[in-house]
Structure 1
Amino acid sequence: MSYSSNLTRERILESAWQEFMEHGYQNANMRRIAQRAKATTGALYNHFANKAVLFDALVQEPAEEMLAQFQAIHRQAEEKVFVQPESSMEEQACAGTDWILDYIYKHMEAFRLILCRSEGTRWSTYLEQLIEVEEQAYRVYCDALGKNGKRVEDMFLHVTAATGFQYLVELVSHDLPYEQAVAVMDSVKRYSMAGWQEILRAKP
């Protein structure tokens, strides 16, 4: 690909991000994207076959990497929970939260699209995939760490996992500065850990 072609591609990607953020995926228009990029529609389609491919180009790499890393973090935590049960849930939960927040903020443009403007794309279910990973991990933690002999309900685990990710959606959708987001999530971690201790230790 020539230098000029690379520049055109970069202009298209930047223009597409602006278009998707302003109009959402479903209402975004390829002709407007070409106009924003000062490119012909032919040049646009030469680089990206359709709108879905263009959206993928903006989000796929960081999204797939984050999901894979998130799954790996939980696999490691699930192994550790049987070795160091008392400390593993809190330590791993806090470390995982810190990592995912940092990763999202390093790739904010992609995750703003996924979390706020992906309706109509295959990425509209991305958050549900993350929630499912978290929910399955919660089941392992609760079964290993519960001290009251009572099984934590599946729906509670689902709601709790979904709520945890909703915090991140709010930070992204409100475009909160990173330092402020860290402070908010530190409060969320303390709040959540206190709740988990009550759930796992309360009498049936």
Structure 2
Amino acid sequence: MAKQIEGVYEKVYECAKKEFLSKGFKDASLRTIAQEAGTSTGSIYTRFHSKEGLFYSIVSPVVEELKNWFLSIQESFHKKDADYQKKNMLEYNGIHAEEFVAYIYKHYDVFKLLLECSEGTEFSDFVDQLVNIEMEYTVKYMEVTGDNALRSGNISSEFLHIVNSAYFSGIFEIVRHNMEKEAGMLYAKQLREFYYAGFAKIYNWQK
């Protein structure tokens, strides 16, 4: 019986992804998902409670894993002394940016759901959550290294937010444009080099 249930819900996940990707969260039908998966809507409600609960069960593990990873690398770098941060910011960001993109491709269908099909769910601001983390640690970096660009008024927090938002939105274009991994990794590298030239100027990164 346990194996049968496991098989049923693997099919539910597969069919739910297909339905959500095809119609978006709002227009997706639990009835259609149930029919395609060979089960009942009642069974889905019992397991997931709602359509949003089903969507949550698909995307939440990926979101939480990515956010936890992102926070951990930010915090690890923040614990380094000021001199280390100044000298290694570019290299450190470059290495982990590649890991970030590789993770997107590992869970490509989930990111497709997050970016194109999550309107009406708690995940519709997923990119903003990442930007907010980046903003928090950007300010910490500037405080630790003595960068006074914000305090002096040379740049504003609104400017930093817009620039960081643009960068993350640009990275996720690999999903919106359905790029194959090889092309997407190259695009992300080129985008990173383009933005990092500006970031290096703003944050006084050392090459």
Q: How high is the TM-score relative to the length of structure 1?
A: 0.89
Contact 2:19 2:29 in 1 (8 A): yes
Task: Note if contact 1:86-1:145 (Cα within 8 Å) is conserved in structure 2.
Answer: no
The one of 149, 165, 170 aligned to 1:167? 170
1:131 CA drift (Å) = 0.5
Which AA in structure 2 matches 1:156? F
CA shift, 1:85, in A, is 3.6
Name the structure 1 match of 2:31.
Answer: 31
Aligned CA RMSD, in angstroms, stands at 2.0
SS in 2 for 1:84: helix
Using the TM superposition, give the Cα deviation of residue 172 of structure 1 relative to its aligned residue in structure 2, in angstroms. 0.9
1:154 aligns with 2:173: no
The letter for the 1-side match of 2:4 is S
1:147: Cα distance to partner? 7.6
Cα deviation for residue 135 of structure 1 reads 1.2
Q: 1:86, CA displacement in angstroms?
A: 3.0
Is 1:57 the counterpart of 2:60 in the alignment? no
Q: Distance between the aligned counterparts of 1:138 and 1:6, measured in 2?
A: 44
Task: Give a deviation string over 1:9-37, Cα, whole Å, max 9, x none.
Answer: 11111111011011111111111111121
Aligned pairs for 1:94-105 within 5 A: 94-105=94-105
Alignment correspondent of 2:73 = 73
Q: 1:29 to 1:114 in 2, by over 3 A?
A: same
Deviates more, 1:5-14 or 1:39-48: 39-48
SS at match of 1:80: coil
Query: Quick one: distance in 1 between partners of 2:10 and 2:58?
Result: 11
In 2, Cα distance between the equivalents of 1:52 and 1:188? 34
Deviates more, 1:86-95 or 1:67-76: 86-95
| 3-state secondary structure, aligned to 2:79 | helix
Instruction: Kindly provide the amino acid, as one letter, of the partner of residue 147 in structure 2.
Output: G
Change (3 A) 1:156 1:3: same
- Structure 1 portions without partners, runs of 5+: none
Partner of 2:109: 109
Q: Quote the offset at 1:133 in angstroms.
A: 0.5
8 A Cα contact 1:135 1:157, kept in partner: yes
Residue 48 of structure 1 contacts residue 54 of structure 1 at CA under 8 Å; is this kept in 2?
A: yes
SS at match of 2:123: helix
Q: Name the CA distance, whole Å, in 2 between partners of 1:23 and 1:178.
A: 25
Point out which structure has higher relative CO (alpha carbons under 8 A, 6+ apart). 2
Alpha-carbon shift at residue 40 of structure 1 (Å): 2.2
Distance in 2 between residues matched to 1:200 and 1:13, nearest whole Å: 44
